[in-house]
Amino acid sequence: MFILNSGRYILLLMLVQSFEFIQTKQCNIPEDNEDIDWDNFPNAWYEVLHTFDPVMDKDVFGAKLHNFTKTSTGVQKMVTELHKNSPSQTFTVHYTKKEAGIYRLAKDDEPSFQASQSLTPEGRRSEDAAKIDDALFSGDLLISSDEENYIIYAFCSYADEWVVWVVFPSMNPTIQQLTLMWNKLMEKGINVQLHLSESVEHPENFMGF
C-alpha cells in the first residue's frame, strides 16, 4: 500500500516548482552517455515528473513501469497507464539500443502507445498527443539512469522542444533522489520545467497494478 505523507508531498511540490528553468529553444540529444545494466533494476518504477506535454495533459493519469527484461538488442518492459476517463492500458515496450544511453522504440509498439496515449475517452484521436508519440518513434530516445534512484526518458518533439518523463522506484522520491535526477538533467544540458504527475496525489489508484 502506498501512503503519501501530506508534508512530504508539499515539500516535493515546492522543490519541483523551485526549479523553474528557462526552457532551451533547441533540443539536441547529448553525446557521451552512460550505458545501463538493465539486469540490476528494481521491479517497478512510477512516473512522478513530466514536462506536461500533450500526452500527459490529455487523459493519462499516471504510469507504472515494470518487468524490465534485457534482450539481445536492448531491453523490453511492461507499461501500465492509468487514465482519468477511460480504462487503464497495459502494453509491452521494446527498445533497440543504438549506443550507450540512446535507444529507438520498435515501430510495432506504436499502435499500443497511440491506443493508450492518443485516443480520447470518446474514441476520438488527440492530434497533439499523436504528434508526440510520432516524434518518439521517429527519433532517438535518451534514457539516463543510475539504476537505483531515477530513470530519465528524454526526446525531442517536432517543435524542437524537450519532452521529459521521469520515473522513480517509489511515488515518494527522497530529496536525495530528486537532487541526483536534477543534477543529471543539468549535466545533459536539459533545462525544462517539470510538473508532478497527478498519480502522486492519488497513489491508491495503483493498488492492484
Residue 115 lies in a domain: yes
User: For the domain that residue 170 is a member of, what is the CATH number?
Assistant: 2.40.128.20
Q: Name residue 66's amino acid.
A: H
User: For the chain, how many structural domains are there in total?
Assistant: 1
- Give the model's pLDDT for residue 142: 98
Residue 185 lies in a domain: yes
- Give the model's pLDDT for residue 17: 53
Please give the grid coordinates belonging to residue 134: 510520432
Residue 97 lies in a domain: yes
Hey, which residues does 88 pair with through a beta bridge?
A: none
- Give the model's pLDDT for residue 22: 45
Range of the domain at 194: 16-200
Residue 3 lies in a domain: no
Residue 209 lies in a domain: no
- Give the model's pLDDT for residue 23: 46
- Give the model's pLDDT for residue 112: 92
Using H for helix, E for strand and C for coil, what is the string for the chain? CCCCCHHHHHHHHHHHHHCCCCCCCCCCCCCCCCCCCHHHCCCEEEEEEECCCCCCCCCEEEEEEEEEEECCCEEEEEEEEEECCCCCEEEEEEEEEEECCEEEECHHHHHHHHHHHCECCCCCECHHHHHHHHHHHHCCEEEEECCCCCEEEEEECCCCCEEEEEEECCCCCCHHHHHHHHHHHHHCCCCCCCEECHHHCCHHHHCCC
- Give the model's pLDDT for residue 16: 55
Please give the grid coordinates belonging to residue 171: 511515488
Residue 79 lies in a domain: yes
**What CA–CA distance (Å, rounded) separates 191 from 129?**
22
Task: Mention every residue, 6+ apart, whose C-beta is less than 8 A from residue 121.
Answer: 59, 83, 84, 85, 86
Residue 8 lies in a domain: no
Nearest to 53 by CA among 197, 182, 201: 197
Residue 150 lies in a domain: yes
Q: What is the mean pLDDT of each run of 10 residues along the chain (209 residues)?
A: 44 53 68 91 90 82 92 96 86 96 96 85 79 95 96 96 95 92 95 88 73
